[in-house]
Amino acid sequence: MTNNKQAFPEGFLWGGATAANQLEGAYSEGGKGLSVADVMPGGKKRFEILSSPSFDWQIHADKYNYPNHHGIDHYHRFKEDIALFAKMGFKCYRLSIAWARIFPKGDEKEPNEAGLSFYEAVLDECIKHGIEPVVTISHYEMPLHLVTEYGGWKNRQLIDFYEHYAKTILTRFHKKVKYWMTFNEINSSFHFPALSQGLAPTNGANEPQHVFQALHHQFVASSKAVKIAHTLDPELQVGCMIIYATTYAYDANPINQLATLKQNQQFNFYCADVQAQGEYPSFAKQLWAEKGVKLAIEPGDLELLKEHPVDYIGFSYYMSAVINETATEDDSVTGNLLGGVRNPFLKASEWGWQIDPVGLRIALNELYDHYKKPLFIVENGLGAIDQVDGNFYVEDDYRIDYLRGHVEAMRNAISDGVDLIGYTPWGCIDLVSASTGEMAKRYGFIYVDLDDDGQGSGNRYAKKSFYWYQKVIQTNGADLT
């Protein structure tokens, strides 16, 4: 094991990450249109409801609760939140722009100036505090109209709408924002295409043809965004963003090894291969054949992908996975949109996600060996139930332990030779969870006094991890005690 305390390079981007739909609230203010996130009910049954054949992309306020509608009211309190990030010493802050604030329906010609002004104020606030903004162009919040009228990303017309949106925000903000990402967790669609592709069972979620075709459209759209960004300023850095889950075979049985290889190829590498290397991987044709997919690729698409790959690999890492094709008993576990079987060597979070810092070191090595492009961990963290004391203080040693293990893994991977440029733990301030739409699942360094029903003052309180992370940043990762 390496233990090089000086491993983090100067200028390393320590920060935190959020997404508009999970913290802003104000879902119908400032001219914003509805997004897919606005029709997703809160609670542990969220994915079950979205996967049901009767899911209709409508709000049913009589039946369900919608915590994303109020979020943590960051829309009105962003100055206070960014000041707290600055107090922690953030060098960067990853946020997303809600597409439906800029183009309420998604297919308009003219943007909504109120939406642009809102993000201008947010970005200026970051810059005022010396925090480098890192912007995700689309994070699980495409305009709902693009789903109900156009059928989601399986429709090629979405490329034009996304291009227009990306061009609008890149043109407006390129002097304020250097680091961009085109789609959050683009490979999430292999397990749950409702979030990033706008596909539910009623409009194609269960048909690989639609999911793969939608991905092709997203790849083309992503390359168009890269092209626009580099035309505006060749110094802009545009990344892809994937979920990476280090995946182990359960044992040395070649059947499990092969299944693991296949899982890695499709889940961990397929999307980033196209976005970072500019071409479909060698295994793609076989994968399409196995799934019965006949991809419609238009003239010029492949050239565009090749000419405009991303500059860096952004990824989320929460857990690892284990594949056991030969299991006789069901030992399955849940995870960040993908499952697998239980790993007897690891502990799991209260939501069953298996905690594996060494898996992060492996991930960093695998990704860097594969792409030789800078890596940026843009999500990582522990979702947990926090208990406040009488002063709203949370002693979240479990979160500190989780993060410490992962920062050590980063340090070791840097010593291994990996080019890692930054780290933005997820939900740096408590927000609504994506998979279960809950406030109860908290990731933050900052506690927000709100429950699943939206009850509470909404006030913000620093947790113990706030001060721990402040010291980590101050010492550039040398002091993790």
Taking the least distance from each CB to ligand BG6, the nearer of 437 and 454 is 437
Q: What is the dihedral of CA 230, 380, 433, 130, to 10 degrees?
A: -50
CB 68, min distance to ligand BG6, A: 11
Q: Residue 35 forms beta bridges with which residues?
A: 143
CB 232, min distance to ligand BG6, A: 26
Phi, psi of 474 (to 5 degrees): -55, -40
Answer yes or no: 185 catalytic: yes
Instruction: Quickly count helices (H) and strands (E) in the chain.
Output: 16, 12
Taking the least distance from each CB to ligand BG6, the nearer of 22 and 148 is 22
Taking the least distance from each CB to ligand BG6, the nearer of 349 and 412 is 349
Q: Which of residues 87-126 bind ligand BG6 (CB under 6 A)?
A: none
Size of the site for ligand BG6 (CB under 6 A): 15
Q: Is 430 in the site for ligand BG6 (CB under 6 A)?
A: no
Q: Is 379 in the site for ligand BG6 (CB under 6 A)?
A: yes
Q: Is 383 in the site for ligand BG6 (CB under 6 A)?
A: yes
Q: Is 426 in the site for ligand BG6 (CB under 6 A)?
A: yes
- Strand 446-448 and strand 132-136: pairing? unpaired
Q: Where are the beta strands (DSSP E) in 369-434?
A: 375-379, 420-423
Of 24, 379, 408, 438, the active-site residue reads: 379
442 secondary structure, DSSP code = B
CB 379, min distance to ligand BG6, A: 6
Q: Which of residues 130-149 bind ligand BG6 (CB under 6 A)?
A: 140
C-alpha span between 127 and 449 (Å, rounded): 27
Taking the least distance from each CB to ligand BG6, the nearer of 19 and 39 is 19
- Largest Cα span, the chain: 64
Taking the least distance from each CB to ligand BG6, the nearer of 7 and 181 is 181
Which region among 5-13, 149-157, 216-224, 432-440 touches ligand BG6 (by CB under 6 A)? 432-440
Contact code string over 273-302 relative to ligand BG6, x by CB under 6 A: ------------------------------
What are the structure tokens assigned to 176, written together?
């304020």
CB 316, min distance to ligand BG6, A: 5
C-alpha span between 403 and 154 (Å, rounded): 38
Q: What is the identity of the amino acid at 422?
A: G
67 secondary structure, DSSP code = G
Of 185, 235, 279, 408, the active-site residue reads: 185
Residue 417 Rama label (left phi>0; alpha psi -120 to 50; beta)? left
Among 434, 440, 448, 462, binds ligand BG6 (CB under 6 A): 434
Query: What H or E segment, with its residue span, contains residue 164?
Result: helix 157-173
Among 247, 424, 433, 465, binds ligand BG6 (CB under 6 A): 433
Q: Is 441 in the site for ligand BG6 (CB under 6 A)?
A: yes
Cα distances (angstroms) measured from residue 54 to each of 44, 63, 200, 339: 18, 14, 10, 24
Which region among 173-181, 429-437, 445-453, 471-479 touches ligand BG6 (by CB under 6 A)? 429-437
Answer yes or no: 125 catalytic: no
Among 184, 213, 223, 320, binds ligand BG6 (CB under 6 A): 184
Q: Is 185 in the site for ligand BG6 (CB under 6 A)?
A: yes
Q: Which of residues 297-336 bind ligand BG6 (CB under 6 A)?
A: 316, 336
Rg (CA), the chain: 21
Signed CA dihedral, 288, 291, 297, 302: sign only: negative
**Of 16, 46, 4, which Cα lies nearest the Cα of 435?**
46
Q: Is 354 in the site for ligand BG6 (CB under 6 A)?
A: no
Name residue, tokens 């002693």: 395
Among 320, 435, 448, 460, binds ligand BG6 (CB under 6 A): 435
Q: What is the DSSP string of 233-285?
A: -TT-EEEEEEE---EEESSS-HHHHHHHHHHIIIIIIHHHIIIIISS--TTHH
Active site residues: 185, 379
Which residues contact ligand BG6 by CB under 6 A? Answer: 19, 22, 140, 184-185, 316, 336, 379, 383, 426, 433-436, 441
